[in-house]
Amino acid sequence: MAINIEDKKQIVSEVNKAASGALSAVLADYRGVDVADMTALRKNARENKVYLRVVRNTLLKKAVAGTELECIREVLTGPTILALSQEDPGAPARVLKDFAKENDEFEIKALSIGGKLMEAAQIDVLAKLPTLDQARSILMSVVLAPVTKLARTMNEVPSKVTRTVAAVRDQKQEAA
């Protein structure tokens, strides 16, 4: 289906806007995936706040020009689906990795984070990044650990004194 020049400009503008604020991107080849599965993928992407778009490679090359995602231009061959995230850098990787497990035809091509192109084999690195809430939880546990240990140690001193006094009392009662 032919796309007129205005529609192409609009697509490039939309993808450029999304790519400009993206923390990470994942590219995949969707050949052989049926419509029902693609609909399920799109639904899952929306739920995880992942921008998902099938874009012609020529338009995608123009859209990522001047952004951190410019490095993906070299892997743009064949049908490409683009997944971006503005909030959680690991979200696109998790969504597409889970989808690829269920669909053998779906193949992850490459990923980009921080302006660096990574191979598809490194998808686990990106997918295992904690979400913002998980990262906060980890940070809080690290911050609270020394304080908790200090409180336990300080609480142990009166407990030892109490146990010692009780032991002396019991010893005197047995002697008497």
One domain, residues 149 and 86: no
Please, which residues have CB within 8 angstroms of residue 93's CB and are 6 or more apart in sequence?
Answer: 24, 26, 111, 123, 126, 127, 129
What one-letter code names the amino acid at 4? Answer: N
Contact 118, 126 (CB under 8 A): yes
Is residue 1 predicted with pLDDT exceeding 70?
A: no
Domain encompassing residue 97? 5-129
One domain, residues 169 and 91: no
One domain, residues 67 and 142: no
Domain count for the chain: 2
One domain, residues 168 and 82: no
Query: Domain boundary at 113, 129, 145, which?
Result: 129
In 20-164, DSSP assigns E strands to 24-29, 50-54, 81-85, 107-113, 116-119
- Kindly report, residue by residue over 40-76, the tens digit of the pLDDT: 989 988 898 888 988 888 888 888 888 888 888 888 8
- Kindly report, residue by residue over 109-166, the tens digit of the pLDDT: 888 887 788 887 777 766 777 777 777 888 888 888 888 887 888 878 777 878 888 8
Q: Give the pLDDT confidence score for residue 43 in this predicted structure.
A: 93
**The whole model's pTM is what?**
0.69
- Kindly report, residue by residue over 24-40, the tens digit of the pLDDT: 888 888 888 889 888 99
SS3 state at 65:
coil
One domain, residues 113 and 40: yes
One domain, residues 78 and 39: yes
